[in-house]
């Protein structure tokens, strides 16, 4: 009777040890997979909009999207998904295609990594219904479309994403008419298919949607005119053809957007180096976004691999904590 009990006990010990070994190996494998995922977890900033967004990477005009990329170097990649000539109707149609979903929400990137998303429409939607029916979107449908785009972002990315709505800029009539002549010559109509009044209505509508959704907004229509007031409309310097942003306009948007992020999402704002005003060195700070690769002045030149291992461990632990939140 004693011998079977011993055998059973021995079997139980072996079985428990085997189970423990399997669990241990499974845990190590899980840990390696988790480390691999976290090691690739660079944050993303997603820009949705029309041509004013598509052109925001312009090097010649100091694009506002390029300004963001500069601010977030080594911390976040900026994805420009602006579509020139699109209104909110067309963008929503694009979002409902397989190509659109993959392009915006990722076949080559993880949408869960998107921390900030901007929605910047209205310049085309605000076209005159008679003179430019191709681009015109009725005001109420424009508002509904903005809400649908915001909802789609949250659905595919998650509620952690910080959404910012950017209202369309003002339209400068004189510059717009000059542009007509420059581009179309004798075929220029001399009629304004986009106006300051119409863009103002759509800017107000976008601001109302932002307030309804409880997300911050940047009202360029008001801010640009307030920043450079006067009877000669000096705010026209922010526009290169009366509609799209000039170099000064892009710098204006980039700076105002950075200020808005700092005010509303301080954990995602980059504080540049106090000595050089450079956003990408060891003295720059961004509480909510880790930098990738140790700063050069943190690398031990006698044993550089030690510095890289230490930074990798810190990145995994930091991202793991944020992922769990």
What span, in angstroms and rounded, lies between the C-alpha atoms of 304 and 250? Answer: 40
What span, in angstroms and rounded, lies between the C-alpha atoms of 256 and 118? Answer: 13
Residues 106 and 169 sit within 8 Å (Cβ to Cβ): no
Residues 53 and 88 sit within 8 Å (Cβ to Cβ): no
User: Average pLDDT of 70-86?
Assistant: 97
What count of residues does the chain have? 325
Has 51 been annotated as catalytic? yes
- Looking at residue 317, what is its pLDDT? 46
Q: Determine what percent of the chain is predicted with pLDDT higher than 70.
A: 82
* Global confidence as pTM: 0.84
Residue of 16, 51, 199, 284 with catalytic role: 51
pLDDT digits (tens, 9 = 90+) for 1-47: 555 555 544 555 445 545 545 555 655 564 455 444 444 578 999 99
Beta bridge partners of 191: none
Helices marked H in the chain = 2-39, 51-54, 64-71, 88-95, 98-105, 139-157, 173-184, 196-213, 220-227, 247-264, 304-324
Residue 295 has pLDDT above 90, yes or no: no
Residue 248 has pLDDT above 70, yes or no: yes
- Looking at residue 316, what is its pLDDT? 44
């Amino acid at each position: 009777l004693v011998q079977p009990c011993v055998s059973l006990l021995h079997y139980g010990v072996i079985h428990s040890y085997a189970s423990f070994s399997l669990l241990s190996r499974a845990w190590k494998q899980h840990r390696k997979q988790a480390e691999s995922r976290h090691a690739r977890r660079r944050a993303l900033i997603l820009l949705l909009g029309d041509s004013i967004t598509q052109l925001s990477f312009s090097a010649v005009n100091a694009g506002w999207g390029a300004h963001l990329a500069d601010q977030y170097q080594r911390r976040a990649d900026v994805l420009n998904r602006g579509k020139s000539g699109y209104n909110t109707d067309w963008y929503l149609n694009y979002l409902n295609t397989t190509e659109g979903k993959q392009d915006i929400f990722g076949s080559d990137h993880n949408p869960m990594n998107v921390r900030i998303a901007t929605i910047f429409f209205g310049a085309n939607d605000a076209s005159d219904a008679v003179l430019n029916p191709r681009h015109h979107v009725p005001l109420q449908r424009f508002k509904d479309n903005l809400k649908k785009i915001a909802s789609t972002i949250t659905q595919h990315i998650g509620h952690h994403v910080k959404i910012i709505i950017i209202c369309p800029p003002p339209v400068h009539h004189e510059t717009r008419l000059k542009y007509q002549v420059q581009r179309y010559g004798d075929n220029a109509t001399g009629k304004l298919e986009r106006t300051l009044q119409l863009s103002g209505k759509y800017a107000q509508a976008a601001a109302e949607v932002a307030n309804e959704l409880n997300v911050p907004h940047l009202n360029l229509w008001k801010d640009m005119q307030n920043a450079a007031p006067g009877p000669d409309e000096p705010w026209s310097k922010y526009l290169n053809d009366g509609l799209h942003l000039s170099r000064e306009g892009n710098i204006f948007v980039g700076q105002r957007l950075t200020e808005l992020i700092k005010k509303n999402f301080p954990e995602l704002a980059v504080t540049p180096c106090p000595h050089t005003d450079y956003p990408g060195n060891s003295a720059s700070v961004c509480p909510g976004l880790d930098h990738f690769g140790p700063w050069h002045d943190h690398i031990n030149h006698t044993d550089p691999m030690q510095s890289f291992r230490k930074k990798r461990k810190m990145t995994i632990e930091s991202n793991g904590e944020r992922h769990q939140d």
